[in-house]
Structure 1
Amino acid sequence: MKPTADTRSAYRHFQPITTRWMDNDVYGHVNNVIYYSYFDTVVNTYLIREGVLDIESGDTIGLVIETQCNYFAALSFPDTVVAGLRVARLGNSSVRYEVGLFRNDEDVAAAQGHFVHVYVDRATRRPVPLLPALRDALQALVCEPADANA
């Protein structure tokens, strides 16, 4: 089945991201690899601001093991991208983040996708249970996807 674009109401947290001139490719729109950068930006900014991710010296880090993006409409510089964030699955040591990217004030996603983090010990790279503070911060984002294709 072809995925359908979600609206802003399907997400729990929002963060504006300013596009840059260099985000555009020769076709005049944001290049597909940049969308994954936007995903990383909204997730990691949220975790850092919630005080549950120490990127320099934390004992636990999240490794991406799966990612996907569906594109519905073009984004291009100088658009402002508003990234919507939700958690669709919260496991013992993993989390599935879902992100909708909205162009300026538009209500329907221009793109949406997901990635899965497995949280591991920084030194051993072995999975570890989510710490309580991290689980609490993620629980605040949990919601059901708008449809089965999300």
Structure 2
Amino acid sequence: MLDAVNDDYTHWVTVPTRWKDNDVYGHVNNVVHYSLMDTAINEWMIRTAGFDPVTSDVIGLCVESHCSYKAEVAFPEPISLGLRIGKLGRSSVRWEVGLYRSDGTLIAEGYFIHVFVGREDRRPIPVPEQIRAEMEKLVIE
């Protein structure tokens, strides 16, 4: 597994690509990269930080995202995603994600910036303490 050779990231998840992920050019379409990054982040939030996206009074809204493409990947190659936090603010977080092929080749690097807000009023509020405590484990120096 990649985490044994790449310690740039503190959390890893591997996802299969699907037949429909390939585009007419024969590789995984760029929109899939964003979807996988979003999935890795939310999988961590739910499983590790205890976030409940359906009932929580606090939600994280994406206010900025970016992806730099480095190499192609195609179905049926699985993609391993490394997750870390580049910056943890009072009410915001910058998630950084690396996408890798099984041979260790970097496919893409990206980030999402989430601002935590009240579900009803959409006003920024501090990251909830339970979530913050887990996020601090992902912060890179």
TM-score by length of 2: 0.93
Q: Which residue is 2:140 aligned to?
A: 143
C-alpha offsets along residues 1-52 of structure 1, whole Å, 9 cap, x if unaligned? xxxxxx8321111000110001110000010011000011100000100243
Three-state SS of the structure 2 residue aligned to 1:36 is helix
Alpha-carbon contact 1:100-1:109 (below 8 Å) kept: yes
Point out where structure 2 has 5 or more consecutive residues left out of the alignment.
none
Q: Which residue is 2:108 aligned to?
A: 111
When the two structures are aligned, how many residues end up with a matched partner?
137
Q: CA RMSD in A?
A: 1.1
Q: Which residue is 2:25 aligned to?
A: 27
Matched, 1:15 2:13: yes
Q: Which residue is 1:62 aligned to?
A: 60
Task: Report the identity percentage.
Answer: 47
Q: Which residue is 1:133 aligned to?
A: 130
Three-state SS of the structure 2 residue aligned to 1:137 is helix
Matched, 1:124 2:121: yes
TM-score by length of 1: 0.88
Mapped partners of 2:23, 2:9: distance in 1: 28
Divergent runs of 4+, >4 A: none
Q: Which residue is 1:73 aligned to?
A: 71
Q: Which residue is 2:51 aligned to?
A: 53
Mapped partners of 1:105, 1:95: distance in 2: 30
